[in-house]
Amino acid sequence: MLRVKLRYFIPAAVLLFNIFASASQAKSQPNILWIITDDQRPDSIQAYNRATRGTDEGELGFVLSPNIDQLASEGVMFTNAYNNSPTCGPSRTSMHTGRYPFRNGKYAWEHTHQEADFVRPAVSQQLRTAGYSTAIIGKTHHGISEALNQKSHIFDLEIEFNRDLLLHGFGGWYSSGSHGLEDAVLKRRDSFEKVFYPDGRSKEFVLSKKDRALNEQEQSIKQGVEQEFDILRAYTRINTGLILGGVNPQPAGKTVDGYIVKEFENYLANSGKQYESFSGRQVNGPDENKPTFVNLGFHLPHTPVLPPKSFRDQFKDRDYTLPNFDTQELGTFTTQQLQIYNEAKSDGMTKEDQLQAVRDYYAFTAYGDALIGEAVEAFKAHSAKQGREYVIVLTVGDHGWHLGQQGIMGKFGSWQASLNGAAIVVSSDKKTYPPGKIVTDLVEYVDFAPTLMEAAQINTQEKQYDYLDGVDLAKVANGEAPERDYILGEMNLVCGYRAYLRTDDFAFSMRTRDKRTPARVPDLNEDITWALTTSPLNAEMALYDLRVDPKERKNVAYTVEYIELAEWFRRKLGNIVLGDGRVEMDWSTKNAYNVSQFASGADDKKIDIPANIIPKDGVTNPQRFNL
């Protein structure tokens, strides 16, 4: 009662001051654009290659990225950015929540909700509370709903590329199943694909039948379409048939990613208005009196890898150096790593097919660069019209993509090619993000949430934001962030639960749970110390000495020279991901979860390895791992 009564005795002058102060802050808050691409390697960007390799070319050869290069010249590029889960769903959830998978409770494709009391608001909700109009357009896949069995409402507007574009005929190629082949592999139901032609025609064909092989007519139609568009499907992996190359049926601008940008431009152009989306929905543009926050999610260069012809032609005769891979390397793979290899192996492909996959992949990223340039210009124009400052954050790939490294074309691994990305942050306030600056410090994808919140003038140093695992990239760029010696991550897909920790000198990963099924009552955090107490072999450790083996071609965890170091990493990583706030949540319930705290404080960001267990032979004999 006392608090209620006191409200009426606040002097009018103070009330007016607070109102004007609030209005002033709202006007000073910048518009924010957060761009995320899908499955994009950082070496597809020339500016990244110049910063890390001293050449425009990527690891394998020619790439093209004039618009992203321009963006990098306007702000800060972080070259050592690492995702916290190497696949779409859990990686995006970690970005939107600012929490590691082992603290947000999502390790795979679980659909999470916010009724559990350990959950905190997603970054879009924090910005909405801070006064922003919020929208997500394109690839969403954050997997977060406000309540159990409820559709997502964590943005004011959500336009999803599949539901709102492809299913309405906007784009070039539609595949049933999340990856086009999921139904075919699992034999749950018939699987099909559909081609959309520029003249409005479409052609649907059967990809596979759940109970029989394709008949002669079905096979003929499928092969005819594949020949027409030069389709290259994976054929040396468990998930065969995934489209790794080809030409898009639609020209540039009319692919699904082209329509994602058009939806984005329509949204900005309709500030303060209701308008009709491409799918025919009546939706609202951003509030003219509020700052704008948009998460623009590209689907490219995710499979199906189908660049439009105008971009494909620029790459068709380019020569590339394919990654070295020797089947002897498989002898050092753990069982989990072999499962990832079998899921995505490419070493059985012909050289010409591998070259097509590489050419089409980089052609697709070049097309993405053009679309990003178009989106950035539209956003800057929107900000200028509003008279607002702006911040643009580009997340280069929600995770990485192998183009032959480790003998695979895919992701899901704890190797560099699956984990490494890049980030570019640009601000109209050049003091915060100095133009052309390159930062080589280790940063993580959990850093994006606090970065966006701080850009919106939310003070993440306040106690209520202690749940955030990341730090503001502005502080990293200006040398004000706490020192971080390693990056972390974990996932439960393809091979089961596996966590990883990387430093400048070593890459380590291990099996974390003696099961593969998602968490369910009553087994939440059951036998949680298993990975620390089981035999070293059961823990399936992988250790790479990056000082002499930067391509991660030989796991030395079980060699005489390195076993003690591997065991040290097992304790370090295991204590962090299993005992320092690990959450296992049964997402089929409202609030059934368990938090493990047997090693609280283990995540201290420090790597103080005893000097006597670090082999010096790796430094003095660099030829030792020459495969």
Whole-number pLDDT of residue 162: 94
- pLDDT > 70 in the chain, percent: 92
Whether the bond between 66 and the residue before it is cis, its omega within 30 degrees of 0, is no
- pLDDT, tens only, 578-606: 999 999 999 999 999 999 999 999 999 99
Q: Which residues contact 160 (CB under 8 A, 6 or more apart)?
A: 138, 139, 140
SS3 of residue 284 by DSSP: strand
**Token pair listed for 593:** 């979860």
**Token pair listed for 184:** 């075919």
Quote the pTM value.
0.93
| Pick from 407, 403, 405: nearest CA to 330 | 407
Interval 530-553 mean pLDDT: 98
Angle CA(471)–CA(476)–CA(477) in degrees, nearest 5?
140
Question: 448 with 82: CB under 8 angstroms?
Answer: no
- The number of CA neighbours under 13 Å toward the Cβ of 325 is 22
Which own/partner contact pairs does 456-461 have at CB distance under 8 Å and 24+ positions apart?
Answer: 456/29, 456/30, 456/32, 456/126, 456/127, 456/130, 456/132, 456/291, 456/293, 457/25, 457/28, 457/29, 457/130, 458/126, 458/127, 458/130
Distance of CA 525 to the CA centre of its chain: 26
**pLDDT higher than 80, residue 13:** no
Q: Which of 142-151, 356-365, 392-401, 552-561 has the lowest mean pLDDT?
A: 142-151
Domain ranges of the chain: 29-160+255-300+323-477, 173-245, 496-625
| Sign of torsion over alpha carbons 139, 276, 67, 352 | positive
Q: How far is CA 547 from CA 58, 485, 508, in A?
A: 21, 16, 13
Architecture in CATH of 29-160+255-300+323-477: 3-Layer(aba) Sandwich (3.40)
The helix or strand, by DSSP H or E, that contains position 391, with its residue range, turns out to be strand 390-396
Compute the chain's Rg from CA coordinates: 25
| Pick from 301, 408, 413: nearest CA to 349 | 408
- pLDDT, tens only, 67-102: 999 999 999 999 999 999 999 999 999 999 999 999
**Token pair listed for 203:** 């052609």
- pLDDT, tens only, 144-191: 999 999 887 899 999 999 999 999 999 999 988 544 334 444 455 788
DSSP state of 540: T
Whole-number pLDDT of residue 27: 66
- Strands in 202-208's sheet, in edge-to-edge order, are 173-175, 191-196, 202-208
Whole-number pLDDT of residue 208: 87
Distance of CA 77 to the CA centre of its chain: 17
User: Strands 31-36, 390-396: parallel, antiparallel or unpaired by DSSP?
Assistant: parallel
Calpha distance 279→593 (Å, rounded) = 38
**Token pair listed for 529:** 């110390």
Whole-number pLDDT of residue 20: 41
- What crossing angle do the helices spanning 88-97 and 448-455 adopt, rounded to 10°? 40
| Sign of torsion over alpha carbons 380, 383, 389, 392 | negative
Calpha distance 337→347 (Å, rounded) = 15
Q: What average pLDDT is seen over the chain?
A: 92
Whole-number pLDDT of residue 24: 52
Q: Which residues contact 329 (CB under 8 A, 6 or more apart)?
A: 406, 407, 553, 554, 627
- pLDDT, tens only, 276-324: 999 999 999 999 999 999 999 999 999 999 999 999 999 999 999 999 9
Q: Which residues contact 137 (CB under 8 A, 6 or more apart)?
A: 157, 158, 159, 260, 263, 264, 267, 294, 295, 296, 297
**pLDDT higher than 60, residue 486:** yes
Identify the residue whose tokens are 């910048």: 30
Q: How far is CA 116 from CA 113, 125, 162, 588, 598, in A?
A: 7, 16, 29, 11, 22
Identify the residue whose tokens are 């600012």: 98
Whole-number pLDDT of residue 14: 37
Confidence of residue 265 (pLDDT cuts 50, 70, 90): very high
